[in-house]
């Protein structure tokens, strides 16, 4: 009488189950590492973009349009093709309105950057700023020098499939904005308990925007940088009718 040996079949089935349980975690480690590397690169470019925006504003009388375009030019490599002068020109032309476009930006929409100008204040710029800017007797101390200070928020689009979905939920929980207690995407056999225990550390406007984009299933991370520089040209009141640049909420 023949007896079937089921040892091989049992081991094969066990290996299949183990592979199914560990595969999501393995994929996340690979894709998550890539996404975090891109996030680190974007962080460095955000600081450079803040410098470029303020440097441009200091020589352009605080013109928000020029500041925004300078920041976008520095950040384009993080989300658009810029490997040739022609591609760079196309990318800038497509985004000079400071907006993501769902059809070409992996489904993202909304502002690319926010620029909040912290100095000079819109109500502190005199009408005769053009005439008195070069008056050597005007500045009695370093504090009297007209400086342009700005805070830049870059809404970095996370575009790595699966990693963006997992990291998006992790970030919201870590920032104390939203809890996640459904199936663990990394270990499907258990339930995740990613609670928003940490106190919110972001401005109200940034928190609201982050939650709004998450509700649209757009995975972004707000990278922030600040820079300050002495104005090389006089600030013009017409460029400071609003304190912050367009698309940036006032009071940020």
Each residue's pLDDT tens digit, 81-125: 999 999 999 999 999 999 999 988 989 999 999 999 999 988 777
Mean pLDDT of 54-78: 96
Mean pLDDT score of the chain: 84
> How many Cα atoms sit within 13 Å of 13 on the Cβ side?
5
Residue 5 has pLDDT above 70, yes or no: no
pLDDT of residue 8: 56
Query: Comparing 183 with 105, which gets the higher pLDDT?
Result: 105
| 134 vs 113, higher pLDDT | 113
Q: Predicted confidence band at 142 (pLDDT cuts at 50, 70, 90)?
A: very low
3-state secondary structure of 89: helix
pTM, 2 dp = 0.83
Among 85-89, 119-123, 137-141, 199-203, the minimum mean pLDDT is found in 137-141
3-class DSSP state of 67:
helix
CB atoms inside a 10 Å sphere around CB 31: 17
Q: What percent of the chain is predicted at pLDDT more than 90? A: 49
Distances (CA, A) of 67 to 122, 145, 197, 217, 232: 16, 20, 37, 29, 14
Q: What is the pLDDT of residue 19?
A: 60
């Amino acid at each position: 009488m023949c007896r079937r040996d089921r040892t091989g079949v049992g081991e094969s089935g066990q290996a299949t189950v183990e592979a199914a349980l560990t595969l999501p975690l393995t994929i996340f480690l690979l894709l998550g590492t890539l996404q975090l590397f891109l996030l680190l690169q974007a962080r460095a470019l955000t600081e450079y973009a803040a410098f470029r925006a303020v440097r441009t504003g200091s020589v352009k009388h605080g013109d928000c349009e020029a500041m925004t375009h300078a920041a976008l030019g520095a950040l384009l490599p993080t989300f658009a093709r810029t490997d040739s002068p022609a591609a760079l020109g196309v990318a800038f032309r497509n985004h000079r309105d400071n907006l993501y476009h769902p059809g070409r930006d992996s489904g993202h929409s909304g502002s690319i950057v926010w620029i909040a100008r912290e100095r000079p204040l819109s109500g502190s710029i005199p009408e005769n700023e053009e005439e008195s800017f070069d008056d050597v007797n005007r500045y009695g101390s370093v504090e009297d020098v007209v400086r342009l200070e700005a805070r830049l928020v870059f809404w970095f689009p996370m575009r790595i499939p699966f990693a963006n979905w997992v990291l998006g939920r992790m970030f919201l929980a870590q920032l104390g904005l939203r809890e996640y207690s459904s199936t663990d995407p990394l270990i499907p056999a258990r339930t995740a308990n990613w609670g928003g225990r940490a106190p919110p550390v972001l401005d109200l406007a940034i928190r609201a925007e982050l939650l709004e984009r998450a509700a649209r299933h757009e995975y972004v991370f707000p990278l922030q940088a600040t820079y300050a520089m002495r104005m090389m040209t006089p600030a013009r009141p017409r460029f400071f009718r609003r304190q912050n640049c367009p698309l940036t909420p006032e009071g940020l």
